[in-house]
Amino acid sequence: MSDDRRLQVLRAIVQDYVATSEPVGSKALLERHRLGVSAATVRNDMAALEEDGLIAAPHTSAGRIPTDAGYRLFVDRLSGIKPMSRAEKSAIRTFLDQSVDLDDVVDRTARLLASLTQQVAVMQYPSLSRSTVRHVELVPLGIDRAMVVLILSSGRVEQRVVELAQDPADAAGQQLLGELRARINAVTDGQVLGEATAQLSSLPEEFPAADRPSVQAIITSLTDLLREQREERVVLAGTSNLARTGVDAGDLGVVLEALEQHVVLLRLLESLDPVERDAVAVRIGAENPHAGLQSTSVVTTTYGSGGVAGLGVLGPTRMDYPSTMAAVRAVARYVSEILDQ
């Protein structure tokens, strides 16, 4: 048996089983696919695939279904991720372009992925640990107050109101805020948060003594924002799809329990090798490190400049891998474009 023909038979079994959820027999393969060989040859090919652990019989006298190893070979031999249609791409862009802030981007992205794939969508909020400073703005608010606005590469915007020792709205105050804004951005632009914090410590000493209380108040507030520790968060959408897309009823409760543990999902999304960031990773069955997810497949990638966070979908191993991988990749690219604007 040639390797090419064996892969052709395996591909046909995977496609039919994903489409029908029924074990696939040799007769059905010959009827649905132009394999160009006899029924006896197909049966021999299937016997060899079963011996290699790539397909299995769920019960006696049944057709065959792919094993985790069979799905893995199928995914590894994909010639490429099929592109989405122009209409699909336009719909994705239109839907995400309507987002009004970061929370809305994350919520819309998760719901969109769940809808496109009919799986459970998982999206990590942009990680502060990998974000860099894009811009710092200082806005006068009144006689003795100013707002410090921190804009990160991830699209996250943080702000805090600071009480000052002088009026930031008069000529001297505006000049001070302008000079301080320029110096802050000069030393923090493009820096990861830890490095940006270190760059700010000596700035108050560079200003006249009369201005230092106000400068120190702003620097302290900004430093607090940069150092602020926040729990990493993930958003889920489409959990109800698990009951419709083929997760065995006996495994459903275990999978749902795992999904409630966001630390498990964060580890999945953050476990891409740095050299593989921007690639689409597929973990099938037992390849998932958490026992509760070993009846599922997880398709993930990163988004944002430098791969600041991850997104993906989770569903049964009986998954339409080419379409799911295409959707995950396309959505990640559009989200990245939105956040990089």
CATH of the domain at 47: 1.10.10.10
Statement to judge: residues 283 and 326 lie in one domain: yes
pLDDT of residue 48: 93
* pLDDT tens per residue across span 11-58: 999 999 999 888 998 888 888 888 888 888 888 999 999 999 999 988
The torsion defined by the Cα of 189, 195, 201 and 207, in degrees rounded to 10, comes to -20
Q: For 2-6, 156-160, 175-179, 231-235, which range has the lowest pLDDT when averaged over its residues?
A: 231-235
How many other CB atoms are there within 10 angstroms of residue 117's CB atom? Answer: 26
Do 135 and 113 share a structural domain? no
CA 64 remoteness from chain centre: 33
Structural domain containing residue 39: 3-76
Q: Same structural domain for residues 241 and 223? A: no
Q: For 118-146, how does the pLDDT look when each residue is reduced to its tens digit (9 = 90+)? A: 999 999 887 666 678 889 999 888 788 88
* Whether residues 274 and 309 fall in one domain: yes
| 279 and 333 inside one domain | yes
Domain final position from 174, 209, 227: 227
Domain count across the chain: 3
Write the Ramachandran bin of 71: left for phi over 0, alpha for psi from -120 to 50, otherwise beta: alpha
* Residue 72 domain-assigned (yes or no): yes
| Of the residues 227, 259, 285, the one at which a domain ends | 227
Q: Indicate if 143 and 202 belong to the same structural domain.
A: yes
Q: Is 20 helix (H, G, I), strand (E, B) or coil?
A: helix
pLDDT at 322: 92
117 and 239 assigned to the same domain? yes
Asked if the structure places residue 218 within a domain, the reply is yes
pTM of the model: 0.72
Contact 44, 86 (CB under 8 A): no
Crossing angle between the packed helical segments 3-20 and 39-51, to the nearest 10 degrees: 90
For the purposes of burial, counting CB atoms within 10 Å of the CB of 35, is it exposed (0-12), middle (13-18) or buried (19 or more)?
Answer: middle
Mean of the pLDDT values across residues 251-255? Answer: 79
Residues 139 and 122 in one domain: no
Instruction: Mark whether 188 and 244 lie in a shared domain.
Output: no
How do 296-303 and 281-284 pair as beta strands?
A: antiparallel
Helix ranges restricted to H, the chain? 3-20, 26-32, 39-51, 68-76, 86-97, 102-117, 171-188, 193-200, 212-227, 249-260, 262-270, 321-340
CATH code of the domain covering residue 170: 3.30.390.10
In what side-by-side order are the strands of the sheet with 145-152?
A: 133-140, 145-152, 157-163
CATH number at residue 287: 3.30.450.40
Residue 276 pLDDT: 55
- Cα Rg of the chain, angstroms: 27
**Do 247 and 309 fall within a single domain?**
yes
In this structure, is residue 100 part of a structural domain? yes
User: Is 106 a domain residue?
Assistant: yes
CA distance 163 to 317: 56
The answer to whether position 81 is within a domain reads no
Beta strand pairing status for 157-163 and 65-66?
unpaired
Angle between the 212-227 and 171-188 helix axes, to the nearest 10 degrees?
40
Distance of CA 72 to the CA centre of its chain: 21
Q: Which of 76, 94, 116 is the last residue of a domain?
A: 76
Does 241 share its domain with 123?
yes
Indicate if 324 and 266 belong to the same structural domain.
Answer: yes
The tens digit of pLDDT for each residue in 293-315 reads: 888 899 999 887 666 688 999 99
pLDDT band at 275 (very low <50, low <70, confident <90, very high): very low
